[in-house]
Amino acid sequence: MAKAKYQEPIVIGATDDIGFQVHERIISLDVGCGKAKRGDIGIDYSRRSDADVIADSHFLPFKDDAFESILSTVVLEHSPNPLVFLKEQFRVLRSGGEVKVVTDNAQYYCWSVMGFGEVKHEDYHSDHYEIFFPRNVERLLTKAGFTKTGFRFLRTRHSKMDCAVAALTKIGLLRRECLFSRFEMTGKK
């Protein structure tokens, strides 16, 4: 496996008592927080993010069992190795802690519609390595050591096409899952 670009984390706006020395006070980690951090500590690979720590999420710069909860929102599809990505989260999560993974839904109708125009999901999102079906994420969570505890589909935007697709699902021509652009899966350590 290739080495991470940043072996030593770069800490922005944080002191030693945040995330590195006194882990007992840190409750939640937002992996791949981007510009919208939703936890006590945010980590991201991009220097343009609002992260407290700039580092590769495949090599989290935290001690084992450091966090009570971990959130990664639309980050899994950007990972070149999603299993390593999740195993690192398992490592830094305390026993009994919860991980929440939100990712794009491979069953979403827009990805199929784009295919008719010779546009692939990878072309639309060139920085995605993979798009996932819920069962794929469940398998990855299990392989990483988690026990699945929850699942739900998420709809992030509404369009006129949604109404037509909803009508087709009601009469049985399309599966309900194709209405949702993302899904959320939770697991416990």
pLDDT tens column, 57-102: 999 999 999 999 999 999 999 899 999 999 999 999 999 999 999 9
d(CA 79, CA 72): 11
- Where is average pLDDT lowest: 29-33, 46-50, 108-112, 167-171? 108-112
Q: What is the mean pLDDT of residues 105-131?
A: 65
DSSP state of 138: H
**DSSP-H helix ranges across 7-133:** 82-92, 109-116, 121-124
pLDDT at 184: 93
pLDDT at 88: 96
d(CA 15, CA 89): 22
DSSP state of 144: H
What are the structure tokens assigned to 65, written together?
């069992």
- H or E segment to which residue 148 belongs: strand 147-154
pLDDT at 139: 95
> 146-159 pLDDT, tens per residue?
998 899 988 766 66
Contacting residues for 106 by C-beta, under 8 A, at least 6 apart: 121, 131, 132, 133, 136
Angle between helices 82-92 and 134-144 (to 10 degrees): 50
Task: Evaluate whether 85 touches 76 at the Cβ level (below 8 Å).
Answer: yes
d(CA 91, CA 139): 17
pTM above 0.85, yes or no: no
Contacting residues for 158 by C-beta, under 8 A, at least 6 apart: none
Report the mean per-residue pLDDT for the chain. Answer: 80
d(CA 121, CA 64): 36
Q: Which domains, ranges and CATH numbers included, belong to the chain?
A: 10-105+126-156+180-188 (3.40.50.150)
The pLDDT-based confidence of 8 (bands split at 50, 70, 90) is very low
pLDDT at 147: 95
Residue 169 has pLDDT above 90, yes or no: no
Residue 15 has pLDDT above 50, yes or no: no
Backbone angles phi, psi at 27, to 5 degrees: -105, -50
Looking at per-residue confidence, does 129 or 37 come out higher? Answer: 37
